[in-house]
Amino acid sequence: MRFDPALPYLRLAWCLGFSTSLSPDCPHPLLDRDGEIEKWFGLSARELEEKGLPKAARRRLLDRNRGRDMALAMLRETERLGMGLLWPGHPDWPRELEEQADAPPVLWFLGTPSALDAALFTVVGTRHPSPYGIQAGTQFSEALALGGCHIVSGLARGIDSIGHRAALKNGSPTIAVLGSSLDQLYPPENKELARGILRAGGLLLSEFPPGQQAFKNSFPRRNRILAFLGRGVLVVEATLRSGTLITAEWAATRGKPVWAIPGPFGSPSSRGCHKLIREGAFLADHPAGLLQDLELEPQTPAFSREGLSDLDLQVLEQLRQGPTPPDALSTATRSEIQRVLASLEILKAKGLVRRLEGSLYARTRYS
């Protein structure tokens, strides 16, 4: 199997357990894996107990035959579903995770791992943003994308989705870290967004094996990966009880800078951000200011005609006149409507056009 080198990491992941609760102030001791990973499978019951491992993890580590069987079963299911695997030592393993003792032993992925090679920045916030939060999340995320960052977020409702969509709108790959397995995507209404991420050269990541649905502890676990991957974390809106604050706490405990956007003083969705700012987070009061803090300049890549058909170029030329519906493009280019619709999908995937309300299409700043 092409994933054979991942077997010991899959065994370790199974031994750890995929439902173990993790928090910034109480990481799992098994994750502090200095030295060779195989050493964990040769320790005695006493040695495992001395290392402070929970009883369930000790039992799994000592059950060597079952551990191998479970790892092989996960491997077969991974290949059957067409997923990829990353593990420490893999050429595409995120460099941001290399020094993190709390990093997962293995990551499942769909999409393009090279999306991890760019500067990564994490954008998180409430699942129920206010109109102010929607506007702020969109504008800050667009600025980061134009500054050359690949946005990392959790594919959740609300700010996460806004961050991903802002990246896609501006032709930038984006990375989604799920709180479920890749084949049990949550929330289900974001399946089309996930497909858009893949079409645009982005990446879906999960530490959960095939078949694992989202559960109560899966999102706090996922949040540490969000914190680790980005060079920093931006919190758009958050209540005082928001799980978003867990992401910020993971980042702060690992020396990652955190920015928070202030909001109306009476808004519950701003209180989490105000708390972070009082506790030392950087003030994100304008997208240009955030780019300045990061020493980034907005980038507008040159438009390339490579891979575009004559019809694609005609459609782009017609869209110079402003937002246009497909039937008008069909008439103007003297082409069948189905060919025009196919052309628009190609141009959308390349980030050259975007769909507006009312079935209108418009050029992006990249075209």
d(CA 90, CA 20): 25
Residue 150 sits in a domain whose CATH number is 3.40.50.450
What is the separation of C-alpha 351 from the centre of its chain, rounded to a whole number of angstroms? 19
Q: 87 in a domain, yes or no?
A: no
Q: Which amino acid is at 332?
A: A
DSSP strand E in the chain: where?
84-86, 107-111, 119-124, 149-153, 174-177, 203-206, 233-235, 258-260, 282-283, 353-356, 360-363
Residue where a domain stops, chosen among 267, 293, 319: 293
Report if residue 348 sits inside a domain.
Answer: yes
Nearest Cα to Cα of residue 114 among 96, 98, 91? 91
Which pTM does this prediction carry?
Answer: 0.78
Residue 15 lies in a domain: yes
Residues 315, 318, 320, 321: is their CA dihedral positive or negative?
Answer: negative
Residue 302 in any domain: the answer is no
Task: Mark whether 284 and 320 lie in a shared domain.
Answer: no
Q: Are residues 117 and 234 in the same domain?
A: yes
**Number of domains, the chain:** 3
- The pair of three-digit structure tokens given for residue 185, joined into one six-digit string: 């995507």
Positive or negative, the Cα torsion across 53, 56, 58, 61? Answer: negative
For residues 336 and 252, state if they share a domain: no
Contact residues for 301 (Cβ-Cβ < 8 A; gap 6+): 171, 366
Asked whether residue 180 falls in the same domain as residue 225, the answer is: yes
In a domain? residue 97: no
144 and 220, same domain (yes or no): yes
Kindly report whether the peptide bond that precedes residue 187 is cis, defined as omega within 30 degrees of 0.
Answer: yes
What is the distance between the terminal CA atoms of the chain, rounded to a whole angstrom? 43
Q: Do 199 and 335 belong to one domain?
A: no
Establish if 303 belongs to a structural domain. Answer: no
Provide DSSP, 18-82.
TT---BTTB--GGG---S-GGGGGG--HHHHHHTT--HHHHHHHH-HHHHHHHHHHHHHHHHHTT
Nearest Cα neighbor of 326 from 355, 349, 352, 365 is 355
Encode the chain (367 residues) as per-residue pLDDT tens digits: 577 888 888 888 888 777 666 666 555 544 444 456 777 777 888 888 787 777 888 888 888 788 889 989 999 999 999 999 999 989 999 999 987 878 899 999 999 999 999 999 999 999 999 999 999 999 999 999 999 999 999 999 999 999 999 999 888 999 999 999 999 999 999 999 999 999 999 999 999 999 999 998 899 999 999 999 999 999 999 999 998 999 999 999 999 999 999 999 889 999 999 999 999 999 999 999 999 999 998 765 556 677 899 999 999 999 988 889 999 999 999 999 999 999 999 998 877 888 887 788 888 766 6
Are 134 and 216 in a shared domain?
yes
**Residue 92 in domain:** no
Q: What is the pLDDT of residue 91?
A: 93
Do 264 and 337 fall within a single domain?
Answer: no
Q: Tell me if 226 is assigned to some domain.
A: yes
Q: Which domain holds residue 196?
A: 111-293
pLDDT score recorded for residue 15 = 83
pLDDT value for 181: 97
Same structural domain for residues 146 and 271?
yes
Which residue in this structure is represented by tokens 């959308």? 348
